[in-house]
Chains A and B, each alone.
Chain A
Amino acid sequence: AQKITQTQPGMFVQEKEAVTLDCTYDTSDPSYGLFWYKQPSSGEMIFLIYQGSYDQQNATEGRYSLNFQKARKSANLVISASQLGDSAMYFCAMREGRWDSGYALNFGKGTSLLVTP
């Protein structure tokens, strides 16, 4: 079964507007971590933001914030004030289980974001 679901294959947003990229996850483990990565056309994977399952507050990093709704098992990425350089593929990922074994990241299939002038 898919552990991470990103339902939006592609999104458009106008420059300076905010955009929300959806991510839902599936786990029965009480301990897990949620990540967002950005992959520009050059191919590298850039870490954006992290949310632990026990974190009480939503994570924020500059223009990025993670809307963590634990009961709904969703971890949406919000990008405020979009910039042209935000155009990229965005991946949601989850790590679950014991932190001292496995430690694999399960990735969603990604959302392609295009920021228009």
Chain B
Amino acid sequence: EAQVTQNPRYLITVTGKKLTVTCSQNMNHEYMSWYRQDPGLGLRQIYYSMNVEVTDKGDVPEGYKVSRKEKRNFPLILESPSPNQTSLYFCASSMVRPDGASGAEAFFGQGTRLTVV
């Protein structure tokens, strides 16, 4: 089954304790990205990757790191989490296609609800 898998689904942690949220896709997609969802703000992109070893900042990258050593995995790293990073996080993947071509949709993981206290 084609899917994007995030782990963990729920995480409560303390300020300053490094954590990693994993993301893995089995569709051989080139493009992967991370979003955070906050009430009233919708989804905002944190980081994205066009392919292995190619990553770049999205709209809200401060406080986050990513890596893309393999095509299927795109972990999100919070080196020193703070309470303002409490949010619902989504990993997404898609093929890279010109707009108008099929297969352009992004598939999302189940989400990771992070609470930093």
Q: CB within 8 Å of B: which residues of A?
A: 31-33, 35, 37, 43-47, 50, 52-55, 91, 93, 95, 99-105, 107-110
Contact = CB atoms under 8 A, between A and B. Distances in A.
Contacts, number: 76
A1 B74 CA distance: 30
Interface stretch (B19-27, B65-73, B79-87, B95-103): B95-103
B58 A104 contact: yes
A52 B100 contact: yes
Given A46-B108, A103-B48, A108-B42, 7 more contacts: A31-B99, A31-B100, A91-B43, A99-B97, A100-B50, A105-B92, A110-B42
Contact of A105 (B45, B88, B109): B45
Q: Which 6 A-B pairs have the closest CB atoms?
A: A52-B100, A45-B108, A33-B99, A107-B43, A54-B100, A107-B42
